[in-house]
């Protein structure tokens, strides 16, 4: 078998990474200069510090990350979101997020108020889609736990529910009931508070593009990509788990946990292997997408074939 | 119109037109037009065209009957063979590109995934039709048996449409369109057959009654 282990990148791949890190450093240090050079159309470079848990694997090219997207709110084809976003969802901001439910400080905050108190970190994570393809993405974000703590969840807060913007004018995919809009996702409290879980606002050192879930999205790298909900407008602390969008759409195929698990197949395809975007051969899928050391203990004693 | 369609240049032009999807695929592959996941895109593209050509081949007989353009019957074999060719390419891209000849995995998938089982069955059933498409095979089988064998396409096309329908994640628009067209093409045949039978039995009835009515004369 020619399948390589994800944990040990080739030397050439490491070099690749150094190259683009240089580029990112250039963006970070010379943001003003770069903006002046390239004009007003340039993406805003984000000031970031290096965060923990980053993989050494070579990141998926930015072009692929920003043109191959599952974001049904902007169309069901992978190429739709990048094509439709400019005319419908080109300027997501101004943006506000409502915090609700079991916490001491509910309320609605503007994007700036939500993000500004925090240091932005760069985290290079693997992303494994439930459709058996994967990417490596240099996210920019904040640990979700840090944000959630500000609203002082109470003892009844056992779960966190997230909701995507519902606006068929700007998200034309919502004009058809492909799934039950708005998109809703959820995490158990310990999953939400886990240091790996990220609230992302950018990738490749730049602000998120609409097709990637601008301006603010979830990133849960050990779960299938559909858990990492995009364009969040509402975060609710709850006593009970939410029925998520895909659980409603196809309960036999998509569960609440959706942990990456090569041993539990999707009813219609195998999850044992995946195609890393940009690679020819399939590679083996790792339990918890390679983050088992960090998160497997969250599920000790649980039957993951039942809780898929 | 029928006269125009009978001209000798028509069929080669149609042949070339049937190669356009393949050319388009080659251009896209060469220019990065297949996107971030070119293997998946290739496989989907070939599968889509395999289905479309099956439907196109099935449309020949209704088109001929409804339009009276008898010339289109001359294209039926070619279009059917193009359907077979695109099916084989789709199968090959699954085996060679998507699974990279991992026969164990492919075997497991065929057994476990119903939509792949159905797809493989459709490929298998198409083989005898392609093999018996030559004039000499038609002669060897005899028209009646040849026609009976080639009615397998009424099973193969629904298998193909179902295969597509089952693998789609959520938006079933495209397979639903295929299913609608297929049901029209097959439904037309059922209606035509019923009418034909009706007409035949009427004629039989007329034939039976003829001696009676003529008996006074005899």
Q: How many CB pairs under 8 A join A and B?
A: 51
User: A276: which chain B residues are within 8 Å (Cβ-Cβ)?
Assistant: none
Measured in degrees and rounded to the nearest 5, phi and psi for residue A39 equal 85, -175
Between CA B49 and CA B160 the distance in angstroms is: 11
Low-confidence residues in chain B, pLDDT < 50: 210-218
Output b/e per residue, B158-196; b: 16+ Cβ within 10 A.
Answer: bbbbbbbbbbebebeeebeebbebbeebbebbeeeeeee
pLDDT at A45: 86
A181 CB near a chain B CB, below 8 Å? no
B169 CB near a chain A CB, below 8 Å? yes
Whether the per-residue pLDDT at A280 is higher than 90: the answer is yes
Q: If you search the block for the tokens 């979830």, which residue do you land on?
A: A218
- A21's enclosing H/E stretch is helix A11-29
CB contact under 8 A, A268 and B99: no
Task: Give residue-wise pLDDT tens across range B149-208.
Answer: 999 999 999 999 999 999 887 888 999 999 999 999 999 999 999 998 887 776 666 555
The domains of chain B are located at: 2-204
Residue in B with minimal Cα distance to A135: B36
Between CA B110 and CA B121 the distance in angstroms is: 10
Interface of A with B in 237-296 (CB under 8 A): 249-250, 265, 268-270, 272-273, 275, 277-278, 280-282
- Domain annotation for chain A: domains and CATH numbers: 47-251 (3.90.420.10)
Considering only the beta carbons, identify the residue of B102, B105, B113 that sits closest to A268: B113
CB contact under 8 A, B170 and A72: yes
CB contact under 8 A, B37 and A281: no
**What single-letter DSSP state applies at residue B23?**
H
Considering only the beta carbons, identify the residue of A68, A133, A268 that sits closest to B167: A268
Q: Name the minimum distance, in Å, from the CA of A249 to any CA of chain B.
A: 8
Residue of A73, A74, A76, A248 to mutate, interface with B, max B Cβ within 10 Å:
A76
CB contact under 8 A, A268 and B105: no
- B6's enclosing H/E stretch is helix B2-6
Label residue B65 exposed, middle or buried (CB < 10 Å: 0-12, 13-18, 19+).
middle
Task: Give residue-wise pLDDT tens across range A33-68.
Answer: 444 444 334 456 899 999 999 999 999 999 999 999
Number of H-type helices and E-type strands within chain B:
11, 0
pLDDT at B81: 97
Confidence label for A283 from pLDDT (cuts 50, 70 and 90):
very high
Residues forming beta bridges with residue A98, ordered by sequence position: A108, A234
* Closest among B187, B24, B47 to B119, alpha carbons compared: B47
Label residue A18 exposed, middle or buried (CB < 10 Å: 0-12, 13-18, 19+).
exposed
B37 CB near a chain A CB, below 8 Å? yes
**What single-letter DSSP state applies at residue B97?**
I
> In this structure, how many other beta carbons lie within 10 angstroms of the beta carbon of residue A258?
21
Q: HEC string of A111-145?
A: HHHHHCCCCCEEEEEEEECCCCEEEEEEEEEEEHH
CB contact under 8 A, B36 and A265: no
Task: Give residue-wise pLDDT tens across range A175-220.
Answer: 999 999 999 999 999 999 999 999 999 999 999 999 999 999 999 9
User: B40: which chain A residues are within 8 Å (Cβ-Cβ)?
Assistant: 133, 275
């Amino acid at each position: 078998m020619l399948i390589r282990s994800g944990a040990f990148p080739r030397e050439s791949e490491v070099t690749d990474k150094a190259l683009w890190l240089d580029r990112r450093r250039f963006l970070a240090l010379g943001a003003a200069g770069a903006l002046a050079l390239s004009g007003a159309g340039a993406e805003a470079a984000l000031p970031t510090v290096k965060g923990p848990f980053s993989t050494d694997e070579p990141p998926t090219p930015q072009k692929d990350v920003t043109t191959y997207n599952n974001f049904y709110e902007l169309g069901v084809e992978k190429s739709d979101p990048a094509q439709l976003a400019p005319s419908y969802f080109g300027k997501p901001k101004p943006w506000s997020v409502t915090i609700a439910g079991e916490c001491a400080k509910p309320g609605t905050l503007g994007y700036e108020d939500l993000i500004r108190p925090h240091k932005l970190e760069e985290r290079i994570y693997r992303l494994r889609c439930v459709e058996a393809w994967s990417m490596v993405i240099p996210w920019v974000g904040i640990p979700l736990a840090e944000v959630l703590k500000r609203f002082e969840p109470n003892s009844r807060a056992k779960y966190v529910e997230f909701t995507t913007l519902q606006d068929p004018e700007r998200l034309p995919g919502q004009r058809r009931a492909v799934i039950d809009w708005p998109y809703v996702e959820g995490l158990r409290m310990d999953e939400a508070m886990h240091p790996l879980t990220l609230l992302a606002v950018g990738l490749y050192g730049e602000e998120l593009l609409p097709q990637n879930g601008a301006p603010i999205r979830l990133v849960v790298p050990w779960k299938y990509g559909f858990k990492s909900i995009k364009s969040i407008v509402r975060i609710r602390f709850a006593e009970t788990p939410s029925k998520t969008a895909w659980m409603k759409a196809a309960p036999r195929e998509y569960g609440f946990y959706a942990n990456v698990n090569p041993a539990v197949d999707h009813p219609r395809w195998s999850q044992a292997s995946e195609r890393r975007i940009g690679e020819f051969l399939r590679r083996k899928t790792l339990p918890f997408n390679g983050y088992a050391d960090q998160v497997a203990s969250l599920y000790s004693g649980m039957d993951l074939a039942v809780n898929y | 119109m029928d006269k125009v369609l009978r001209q000798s240049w028509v069929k080669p032009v149609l042949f070339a037109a049937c190669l356009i999807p393949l050319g388009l695929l080659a251009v896209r592959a060469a220019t990065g037009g297949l996107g971030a996941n070119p293997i998946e895109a290739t496989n989907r593209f070939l599968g889509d065209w395999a289905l479309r050509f099956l439907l196109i081949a099935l449309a020949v007989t209704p088109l001929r009957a409804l339009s009276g353009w008898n010339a289109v019957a001359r294209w039926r074999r070619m279009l059917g063979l193009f359907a077979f060719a695109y099916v084989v390419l789709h199968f090959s891209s699954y085996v060679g590109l998507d699974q990279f000849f991992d026969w164990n995995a492919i075997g497991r998938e065929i057994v476990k995934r119903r939509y792949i089982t159905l797809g493989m069955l459709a490929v298998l059933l198409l083989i005898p039709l392609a093999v018996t498409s030559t004039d000499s095979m038609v002669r060897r089988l005899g028209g009646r048996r040849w026609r009976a064998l080639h009615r397998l396409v009424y099973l193969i096309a629904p298998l193909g449409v179902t295969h597509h329908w089952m693998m789609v994640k959520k938006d079933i628009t495209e397979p639903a369109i295929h299913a609608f067209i297929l049901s029209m093409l097959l439904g037309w045949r059922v209606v035509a057959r019923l009418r034909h039978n009706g007409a035949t039995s009427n004629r039989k009835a007329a034939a039976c009654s003829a001696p009676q009515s003529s008996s006074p004369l005899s």
